[in-house]
Structure 1
Amino acid sequence: MLISVIIPVYNVAPYLRRGLDSIIAQGGDDFEIILVDDGSKDASPAICDEYSLRYPFIKTYHIPNGGVGHARNFGIDKAQGQYIEFLDSDDFLDEGLYEKFRTVLNTHPDIDACFFGLKDFTEGRSNEGHFVKEGLYKMQTSLCKTEMDYSLQSLYLSVKQSFLFFSPSTKFFKTSLIRDHEIRFREDLHYYEDYLFNLHFFFHAKTIFAIGGKAYYNYVHHPGEHLGGKYTEASVIVDVAKEIYSLSERLPMSPQFHEYNVIEYYNNLLHAIDSTYDVKAFGKEAKTMQLIRLWLSEIKRLGHKDSFVNYLGNRKSLLAVPNPLYVYIMENLRMLALKFINK
């Protein structure tokens, strides 16, 4: 079997059929769909059972609610395909993706992974989306530009810049590589656990194909898509930011990729500072000054300040004076302005 599609399911009855139909419409008899009902309380379990009865290649498992990471790990253990794809249960695929992937494997039968593009979808409209230059990417040590264009270094920079690295849903992962290196989703996190999975996987990948020219994955925006989202403590955001930076630096590196990793790290630390202004943070994680000092010290230690200032755009004034008290005052003024605007 070629592909195992793992779909964690939790209270997505209005959207689940469209996603399942989009996989079935890919055609062929070389894939399975693994539905992991994560304790849904709506009609989702019944829809899963309905599709399992109609299609022998669809398997449904009902498990107690344990979170999306746990559901995906459960699916990994059940997968029988050479490659694993993760689909979010409220999203869907455009036709032709699996046919394209099969064509890729005819020429490159032993790739470790395959990237494909993503586009935002709101009912009735979508955009062109994000995708990168098509081709086979390998580890390169030469500085020859023509070779570096299809190096893993250039690919990882491109997919980070085009927001394709974060989610596991825009990739086919080689199952044996996942199992050989015991790569799993963190079940103690609900913040960037999917990004961490990707970083662990791609540390071991040697050859990757990128499908370009079209974004096949539809990331669906709908009312209530973020309902039930949990508050993430600033300390967790900082720990994850450090781990993302550390894991990213283990990937095939170029000066441009390193600079991007540093800027991404600074931005994640800034997100931790912003999170202390959440109403749930007061009295618990309101350690704004401590985080500001950490942020400024890391900028001093790692450099690339000018590039980060350019990245900040209309927030660049935050670093006009590299002083914790100044940053604290600027942050408070910004939050007051946001409250006034949102009234």
Structure 2
Amino acid sequence: MEFKYSIIIPSYNADKYLDRSISSVINQTYKNFEVIIIDDGSTDNSYQKMKEYASKYDYIKLISQDNYGLGHARNVGITEAKGEYILFLDCDDWIEKEALERIDKSLNCDCDLLIFDVNLITSKGEKKGYLKGIEFYRESTSTRELIVNAIPAAWNKVYKRKMIIESNVKFPEGLYYEDLAFSKQIFLYTFNVFYLKEPLYNYVSNANSMIHTKQMDNCFNMIEIIEIIITKYREMNFYNEYTSELEFVMIMHLLIYSTLRVNSINPFSNRQYLFLKYMKINYPEFRFNKYIKQFDNEYRKIFEFIIKKQYLHLWLYRRLGNKEGN
């Protein structure tokens, strides 16, 4: 059977969430899809639960591997996928019942990438907000706009499988923040993009999931991720064309979000300064980046604290405003 969609679900110790996640796929109103579940060395009861689903539904394929991490699991899923289009679903999240039906009605035969919106869910299952797939959307899905304004998650997008295979873009393995590297690279290969302004994905903020960390050392993976992105743009001779956009990516994800993560762990850590130091050395004019004007008042304040190295002030401000890094 030829499948139109391949839904890739990496899973690690997700026994508490798997039923909700997999059921949201099984119960889709649109039925032409396969599910590829990659068990990433789980030590709880989740693998047994996955086996039961795979034995019951012939369109579910289960792959078991040692604990290599999220990036490796997704790359395995891409290799095994047979559908025309690929979606990623994290094991503690779920998709809306009509997600595939809405996606299928919006896709055209030339579409390389479809982006949709996201519901933000608390660990208690309560809806706490809404995330646009493309922030500051200006009726444009140009590469420039995607680099700057498309959220870098893998799971709110539908990718043409042929495009991924031919681009040879892969998720970095053994690093956190692999979504950022994958998305910013794949945007170079997406020539026909559609933005579906509907929340089809439910993202759960769960501190125990595969993609969250409170270990300070992991926060510094972001420097390696940024280097991967920059290397790709240089190799393809696009670096000069998108210098301002890439600089803004670094401002957001390296300077702001990474500093916020370290600051939340230890506001007295001298290591917070390393992100600012990196920017000063490699992009000394970053403070004048044209996209900074998009900042709301809260981000402007956070930016100022970081630039002035007022890390304790930043920590106190966050306790009041609770602005979380992504």
- CA offset at residue 80 of structure 1? 0.7
Q: CA separation in 1, counterparts of 2:35 and 2:117?
A: 21
Counterpart among 186, 189, 210 of residue 172 in structure 2: 186
Q: Verify: 1:205 aligned to 2:205, yes or no.
A: no
Shift of 1:116: 1.2
Instruction: Name the residue aligned to 1:315.
Output: 302
Residue of structure 2 equivalent to 1:15: 17
Give the CA deviation at 1:15.
Answer: 1.0
Q: Say whether residues 1:62 and 2:64 are aligned partners.
A: yes
Q: Which residue of 2 aligns with 1:83?
A: 85
Q: TM-score, normalised by structure 2?
A: 0.78
Residue 184 of structure 1: how far off its partner (Å): 1.2
1:295 aligns with 2:282: no
Amino acid at match of 2:196: I
TM-score by length of 1: 0.75
Match of 1:140 in 2: none
Q: Do the aligned partners of residues 90 and 294 (structure 1) sit closer, same or farther apart at CA in structure 2, a change above 3 Å counting?
A: closer
Larger radius of gyration: 1
How far apart are the structure 1 equivalents of 2:94 and 2:243? 33
Of 185, 190, 199, the match for 1:215:
199
Label 1:151 to 1:209 Cα distance change in 2 as closer, same or farther (>3 A): closer
* Number of the residue aligned with 1:149: 139
Q: Secondary structure at the match of 1:203?
A: helix
- Assess if the C-alpha contact under 8 Å between 2:7 and 2:34 holds in 1: yes
Paired residue total: 311
Mark the CA change 1:233 to 1:89 in structure 2 (over 3 Å): closer, same or farther.
Answer: closer
Tell whether the 8 Å contact from 1:263 to 1:307 is kept in structure 2 after alignment.
Answer: yes
Partner of 2:132: 130
After the TM superposition, which of the residue ranges 233-242 and 2-11 deviates more from structure 2? 233-242
Judged with a 3 Å threshold, the aligned counterparts in structure 2 of structure 1 residues 269 and 45 are, in CA distance, closer, same or farther, namely same
Relative to structure 2, which stretch is displaced further, 271-280 or 174-183? 271-280
**Aligned equivalents of 2:224, 2:77: Cα separation in 1:** 27
Residue 74 of structure 1: CA displacement? 1.1
- How many angstroms does 1:61 deviate by? 1.3
Structure 2: distance between partners of 1:306 and 1:151: 19
CA RMSD of aligned residues (A): 3.9
- Match of residue 322 from structure 2: none
**Matching of residue 232 in structure 1 with residue 222 in structure 2:** no
Q: Distance in 2 between matches of 1:27 and 1:337?
A: 45
CA distance in 1, matches of 2:146, 2:237: 8
User: How far apart are residue 188 of structure 1 and its match?
Assistant: 2.8
In 1: Cα distance, 2:218 partner to 2:95 partner: 34
The SS at the match of 2:284 is helix
Residue 160 of structure 2: aligned partner:
174
Deviation at 1:34, TM superposition (A): 0.5
Are positions 1:116 and 2:116 aligned together? yes
* Helix, strand or coil at the partner of 1:241: helix
SS of the aligned residue for 2:189 comes to: coil
Alpha-carbon distance in structure 1 between the residues aligned to 2:47 and 2:273: 47
- Contact residue 259 and residue 304 of structure 1 kept, 8 A: no
Q: Measure, in 1, the Cα distance between the counterparts of 2:231 and 2:19.
A: 39
Task: Provide the rounded CA distance (Å) in 2 between the counterparts of 1:153 and 1:44.
Answer: 39
Query: How far off is 1:335 after superposition?
Result: 5.6
* Partner SS for 1:8: strand
**What is the Cα deviation at residue 174 of structure 1?**
0.9
Instruction: Report the CA distance between 1:224 and its aligned residue.
Output: 3.6
What residue ranges of structure 2 are gaps of 5+ in the alignment? 320-326
